[in-house]
Structure 1
Amino acid sequence: MLRKVDCVMVRVDDLEAGVAFYTGTLGLSEIWRDETSAGLAMPETDAEIVLHTTDLEYEVHYLVDDVRAALKTWRHTVRKAPFEIAIGWCAVLEDPFGNPICILDMTKGQR
């Protein structure tokens, strides 16, 4: 079901300052941006660090082929039913220990 870690969400108070730090100090490359977030590429992987200024509950997002299809085989708690995002669909599952598992797909394509 899970293919890889797709992105790690990092909260920043100032998007411009966050992008400047992560690109200038840590050497990441900005690959997209919207009003509240920016995607940064890491070398030698296609996983992204996503800087954001909003309050989000989940930091790690796992990529699946199709969120709605994945839910058909999920036998545990679904915290949040599938909802649309810019690149496809997202849902929040729960493991047997109460931890969130945020999954997303890219059925609408990359940014």
Structure 2
Amino acid sequence: LTKVYAESIEEVDEGTIEALRASGAGFWQIVFQAVVPASISRMVAWTFMRFEINFTNAVAMGAAAGAGGIGFQLFMAGSFYFNLHEMGFLTYVVVIAVILLEFCSTKIKAKVK
């Protein structure tokens, strides 16, 4: 994320920064009036994308490596206990969590734009 944040900050239009400097703006005024508004939407989008990837990796690692969490519970219900009701319930919990995550990220991205 740090690399993507740095790239989005580097893509800020130099003309805007120069105009603020010419009008006597200080460092923090340039940051909050030019850099943050121009790069915040990309930063938020990348942050949520990485969060979603980390969520799916955590579920997969819990199932594959027995690292714990809901992925491990899915693995145990499907492979060890053969409890399809519990496995179905946990699958619904994961799907609902992903839908809520996507809904929240869409709302926040819309506010930032």
More helix by share: 2
Superposition TM-score tier, normalisation by shorter sequence: under 0.3
More strand by share: 1
* Larger CA Rg, structure 1 vs 2: 2
With normalisation by structure 1, the TM-score equals 0.23
With normalisation by structure 2, the TM-score equals 0.23
Relative contact order, higher structure (CA 8 A, sep 6+): 1
